[in-house]
Amino acid sequence: MNNEIRIDGRIEERKNTVKIIKGRVINSKGQGICGACVKVLDVFSNPIEHTITDGYGNFKLFIFDNKNCYKIFATCEGYSTSDFQNIFLFDGQKLSVTIILNKLENILSIFVGRVVFNNKPVDMCQVELYSCYYGILTLCERTVTDKNGVFFIDKVASGIYIIKAENNMFYYKEKICLRPGLNSLTIYPQIKPNMIYGTISGVIVDSEGNRVKDALVVLQTKDGRFIKYTRTNSQGEYLFYNVERGEYSIVSYAKK
């Protein structure tokens, strides 16, 4: 048995494909901003790399992508997001970039909220914000919740307001204080008194699908207790109202 093995190799020249972007993120006074996020995208806004500035606002990014055209921008809490800077980089190139961020002026308030009932979002709920001076309410903002029960009110002066949330079933009214910057609130509305009771309606048909007029319709609870009765109209339709929330079924009868 031969224990001697030969392994040959060949060294190939490898081009320096790394590109380096270094720079600084500063405020309008030229001071470095610590903890800012610097992001590089390609021309189609696909993410390439990102980093966080050090205590002096400095950053350094290594780009191994094979493209040459990029966009760079930055943001930081308390500052507005910068505009894109278009940059061109070639293999082995180093580029220096300075990004200026402007301080956000938190004079105005941002109000984000959610309307929830029984742990479920309430969509299509109208939300209104009123100012109140000497007992007089003045409508300031109006919006509607989305399918997740979320609403947004942007760029409103800080202060004391009355907030109302309402749809056909629910109602909410409360005094709130909006502070400069971001404010959030979860609204738990009440069922309107007239909506504690509901309606049950339907159509009675015979075995051939024809609507039956003057049919007797009896409403019964889940446990079989009869509580109301009515008769169908000429179109075979019936209606029960002032029905408490719960589970029900109907029993119908008509003479031939």
pLDDT score recorded for residue 66: 83
- Whole-angstrom distance, CA of residue 80 vs CA of residue 105: 9
CATH 2.60.40.10 spans which residues of the chain? 19-100, 196-253
Given a cut of 70, whether residue 23 has pLDDT beyond it is yes
CATH number of 19-100: 2.60.40.10
Closest of 70, 35, 38 to residue 51, by C-alpha: 38
The type of residue at 156 is V
pLDDT score recorded for residue 76: 92
**54-92, pLDDT tens digit by residue?**
999 999 999 988 888 999 999 998 888 999 999 998 888
Question: Which CATH number among 2.40.10.10, 3.40.50.300, 3.40.50.720, 2.60.40.1120 corresponds to the domain 108-193?
Answer: 2.60.40.1120
pLDDT score recorded for residue 106: 62
pLDDT score recorded for residue 16: 55
Buried b (16+ CB within 10 A) or exposed e, 68-90: eebbbbbbbeebeebeeeebebe
- Whole-angstrom distance, CA of residue 18 vs CA of residue 198: 69
Average pLDDT over the chain, rounded to an integer: 89
What is the CATH superfamily name and number for domain 196-253?
A: Immunoglobulins (2.60.40.10)
Residues forming beta bridges with residue 60, ordered by sequence position: 22
| DSSP secondary structure string for all residues of 29-70 | TS-B-TT-EEEEEETT--EEEEEE--TTSEEEEEE--S-SEE
Given a cut of 90, whether residue 9 has pLDDT beyond it is no
Which pTM was predicted?
0.56
- Return the structure tokens found at 43: 């021309």
pLDDT score recorded for residue 13: 60
115 and 149 Cβ atoms separated by less than 8 Å? yes
**194-237, pLDDT tens digit by residue?**
666 778 999 999 988 899 999 999 999 888 889 899 999 999 99
Q: How confident is the model at residue 242 (pLDDT cuts 50, 70, 90)?
A: confident
Q: How confident is the model at residue 15 (pLDDT cuts 50, 70, 90)?
A: low
**94-113, pLDDT tens digit by residue?**
999 999 999 887 668 899 99
How many other C-beta atoms lie within 10 A of the C-beta of residue 131? 16
**Which residues fall within 8 angstroms of residue 234, CB to CB, at 6 or more apart?**
213
